[in-house]
Chain A
Amino acid sequence: MFTGLLKFIGAAGELGIFSARATRDLFRPPFEIAELTRQVYECGMKSTPLIACSGLALGAVMAMQSEASMSRFGGQALVPEAVGIGIFRVLGPLVTGLLISGRVGAGIGAELGGMRVTQQIDALEALAVDSFKYLVVTRVLACIIALPILTLVMDFSGLIGGMVLDMAVAHVSPMLFLKDAFQVLALGDYLPTVLKTTVFGLIIGTVACYLGYNTSGGATGVGRASTRSVVFCSLLLILIDIILVKLSFFWSSP
């Protein structure tokens, strides 16, 4: 047990150094613009259908649940507000983070792990390319850029999902739904929560890159890196979210 604890502390320390190096190199030239653009496309654009569809479903489910719960107290008119606040403040950022942990985190872990075991990372270095900057920094930055945008996609598609459901069930007009939803949302409700997803992006990028970049043990190691990426990213996201939600209350009223 003691050895396990030491191993955990050692790995956490290595991850900390890795993250610090990635953060420092974000601001150091050369900036791999072409690779960064490709990664933003891979992480961001290609995740948009998943996020939009999930947002629609999430909004619809929230509206359904709110409708069922609030009808007990005659509060069906508050469904747009409940959906708006629920998605923008709580669910949108976290669900986006978790979905991206699964899609992008696993992908980065497997891709870099595969490159490591097939000596492609060594080949980059042998070709006089700084593999850390080329592979790690670009992916971390791509996650940081993509997460807030994807969160907005999730938020608005969630609102649309809730609106469609409310239209179908309670025959509420779309304009009234949106007006009610946005009436209770101030800038302080969604700006901090969207911005906190940059931290989610940093976590997903660094953890997945750390596990992939340091893979060993052939195909088994690649699979392990991919699985661990999802597990650690999801766990860290949930834990960090608790801290960030508390911090965001300083910005806006709870």
Chain B
Amino acid sequence: MSGDRHDGDRNGNAAPALFCQHVFKSFGGNEVLKDVSITIPTGQFFGLLGRSGTGKSVTLGLMIGLIPLDSGIIAIEGKELGQLKHKELLEVRKRVGFLFQQGALFDSLSVRGNVAFPLRRHTDKREKEIRDIVHQTLESVGLEKDEDKMPAALSGGMRKRVGLARALVLDPSIVMADEPSSGLDAITASEIYDLLGKLKERGKTLLVVSHDGAGVRQLVDRMAVLERGSIAATGTPDELAKSENQEVRALVTARER
């Protein structure tokens, strides 16, 4: 592993893609995260598993700076989020694609408008070029025929795929996905996992948060299990499937219902 430094080490190893050390977070006296530490090297697919209410989504929110930290260090590609001004944080976020649990598509924009939004905001590309990129990106998630639809007209699985297209359109180096299979049938969930799996060929780093152990196991290189706000176990999917901790074993092999 890249060690315990967020900005690389003396041996010249690069900074990890995602780094989180001794992170604590409470909401109104309720301690949600207690001393959470995770290091994800560049190019690794990492799964964070846990039962509902264990702080998985909070961890993801902290990782991208949407939720402020109480204490600890979180860094993206060596840049410590706590040290950044809001403008600098926005720059770092351009390197990260975030897939929200319900897609979080902009209601006022069509599918095309949603996927084109980051390109219009952050690039100088011409409208025709943007249209071509959007078409290609939507084609990669199988929604090229739905470009003109509004989010309200989409199913849950389609919304997630549009959300994924929007997260990937700027070609980020890191992708974070919050419960990518929740609320979906087994076939649609498997399609979403396949789409995420293809990111491996493109050299992306992936952090996926889920309670669908069996699905995530097929996708990731390493995983951690969050239990009552702390990391209960870390390892490869096979290692965790053989864990002595019964709850860890159950989570890693559990299929979403």
Contact = CB atoms under 8 A, between A and B. Distances in A.
A14 interface: no
B122 A126 contact: no
A127 B86 contact: no
Interface in A109-161: 114-115, 118-120, 122-123, 125-130
9 contacts: A118-B102, A120-B106, A120-B107, A122-B66, A125-B93, A126-B100, A127-B98, A127-B117, A129-B121
Interface of B: 61, 64, 66, 86-87, 90-91, 93-94, 96, 98, 100-102, 104-107, 117-118, 121-122, 166
Interface in A27-74: none
Contact of B121 (A114, A126, A128): A128
Nearest to A125: B66
A71 B61 CA distance: 70
| Range for the number of chain A residues in contact with chain B | 10 to 19
A11 B102 CA distance: 31
A130 B86 contact: yes
Nearest to B106: A120
A126 B107 contact: no
Nearest to A30: B121
A119 B91 CA distance: 20
Contacts of A127: 93, 98, 117-118, 121, 166
- The 9 A-B pairs at the shortest CB distance, nearest first, are namely A123-B104, A126-B98, A119-B104, A128-B93, A128-B90, A128-B94, A127-B118, A119-B100, A122-B66
Nearest to A124: B106
Contacts of A118: 102, 104, 107
Given A122-B66, A125-B66, A130 B104 contact: no
Contacts of B117: 127
A128 B92 CA distance: 8
Contacts of A126: 64, 66, 93, 96, 98, 100
B66 A128 contact: no
Given A122-B66, A128-B93, 16 more contacts: A118-B102, A119-B101, A120-B104, A120-B107, A122-B100, A123-B98, A123-B104, A123-B105, A123-B106, A125-B93, A126-B93, A127-B98, A127-B117, A128-B118, A129-B121, A130-B90
Contacts of B87: 130
A130 B65 CA distance: 13
A26 to B, nearest CB: 17
Contacts of B101: 119
Contacts of B96: 126
Interface in A57-115: 114-115
Contacts of A128: 90-91, 93-94, 118, 121-122
Given A128-B121, A128-B122, A129-B121, A123 B91 contact: no
A173 B160 CA distance: 66
Contacts of B98: 123, 126-127
A25 B192 CA distance: 40
A128 B91 CA distance: 7
A122 B62 CA distance: 12
Contacts of B66: 122, 125-126
**Residue among A115, A125, A128 facing the most chain B CB atoms (10 A cut-off):** A128
B52 to A, nearest CB: 17
Contacts of B61: 122
Contacts of A114: 107
A134 B166 CA distance: 18
A6 to B, nearest CB: 16
Contacts of B166: 127
A248 B82 CA distance: 48
A122 B104 contact: yes
B100 A123 contact: yes
Contacts of B105: 120, 123
Contacts of A122: 61, 66, 100, 104
A130 B87 CA distance: 8
A252 B137 CA distance: 62
A201 B183 CA distance: 43
Nearest to B95: A128
**Residue among A120, A123, A127 facing the most chain B CB atoms (10 A cut-off):** A127
B173 to A, nearest CB: 14
B67 to A, nearest CB: 9
Nearest to A32: B121
A128 B90 CA distance: 4
Contacts of B91: 128
A118 B90 CA distance: 21
Contacts of B64: 126
A18 to B, nearest CB: 15
A107 to B, nearest CB: 12
